[in-house]
Amino acid sequence: MVELNRLGAAVKTVAVVTARGGSKSIPQKNIAPVAGKPLIAWTIEAARESRALDRLVVSTDNEQIADVARAWGAEVPFLRPAELAQDDSSHIDVVVHAIQWIEEHNGICPDYILLLQPTSPLRSSEDIDSAIDIAKKHNAVAVVSVSETHDHPYLTKRILDDQTLADFVSAEDIPYLRRQALPPAYALNGAIYINRRLSLLDERTFLPKGTYAYVMPRERSLDIDTPWDLYLADMILKDRMRREGH
């Protein structure tokens, strides 16, 4: 059944993949080879296989990334301005720029914007569709992907000025700090951010009040930030391809 918005029109969801050229930890990280494909290709393929997306746009400042993205089937209708491709550039500003460009040049006014970062190559099309289903089912202002934390906050420590350990989070109300007895704790995994267009433009946050969670397993929640992360993704995806007969 086609979902309708409050005006009776079909709900439109546009995905924006953000991929700037500069990267300090891994040069040209977004097109670095991972299991025989450029890193960004894994995100583009998952988005293209989604049943819930109306459009897929890549926002980049880099011609080489743009060419790679087009080769794998994504639209790159513009190059991002240099001021939105700095180390300290806000992701909100980048996504808002993409929304405004699409509206101005294509006359498209989506209900939902889906931010996909290339640094989450293990995210699947099923993850994307399930998160969008949550947004539509609850008429949600936002949905973000999370995974259960590996290091529970009640078990983490901080080092004081005198080099002694202290609790990072007070756990006085929990007598025995066995992980099995602790309440589940979740962290953003960076894979999926879904926001209503109006909320994103007005509130300028990916986490407005009332945001729903889409829980992803840790084995699909790797966020690539270091060469070691890239190595792990390469091994995991090569193993997945072998098991699937590719």
The residue that leads in pLDDT, 244 or 119, is 119
pLDDT at 229 (0 to 100): 96
What average pLDDT does the segment 11-31 reach? 89
pLDDT category at 152 given cuts 50, 70, 90 is confident
Give 61-94 pLDDT, tens digit per residue. Answer: 999 999 999 999 999 999 998 888 888 889 999 9
Specify the pLDDT at position 107: 87
Phi, psi angles (nearest 5°) of residue 64: -65, -45
Q: Which residues pair with 116 in a beta bridge?
A: 17
Q: Which residue has the higher pLDDT, 45 or 244?
A: 45
Q: Is residue 157 domain-resident?
A: no
In a domain, 171, yes or no: no
Residue 167: inside a domain, yes or no? no
What is the Cα–Cα distance from 16 to 60, expressed in whole angstroms?
Answer: 10
Q: Please give the Cα distance from 238 to 228 (Å, whole number).
A: 15
User: Which residues pair with residue 55 across a beta bridge?
Assistant: 14
Residue 246 maps to a domain: no
Q: What is the per-residue pLDDT for 95?
A: 95
Mean pLDDT of 10-36: 89
Does a structural domain hold residue 205?
yes
163 in any annotated domain = no
- Both tokens of 191, joined, read 């894979």
Which DSSP category does 220 fall into?
Answer: G
What is the reported pLDDT for 7? 38
Q: How many domains does the chain have?
A: 1
More confident residue, 214 or 108: 214
Q: Is pTM beyond 0.95 here?
A: no
Write down the pLDDT at residue 175: 57
pLDDT band for 2, please (50, 70, 90 cuts). very low
Q: Which CATH number belongs to the domain containing residue 102 in this structure?
A: 3.90.550.10
Percent of the chain scoring above 90 in pLDDT: 74
Rounded Cα distance, 119 and 224, in Å:
5
173 falls in which pLDDT band (50, 70, 90)?
A: low
Q: Does any domain span residue 178? A: no
Q: Is 224 part of a structural domain of the chain?
A: yes
Q: CA–CA separation, 35 vs 48, rounded Å?
A: 19
User: What single DSSP character describes residue 18?
Assistant: E
Please provide the size of the chain in residues: 246
Q: Which domain holds residue 196?
A: 13-149+185-238
Provide the strand spans (E) within the chain.
13-18, 33-34, 37-38, 55-59, 112-116, 142-148, 157-159, 165-167, 186-196, 212-215
Distance CA 83, CA 98 (A): 14
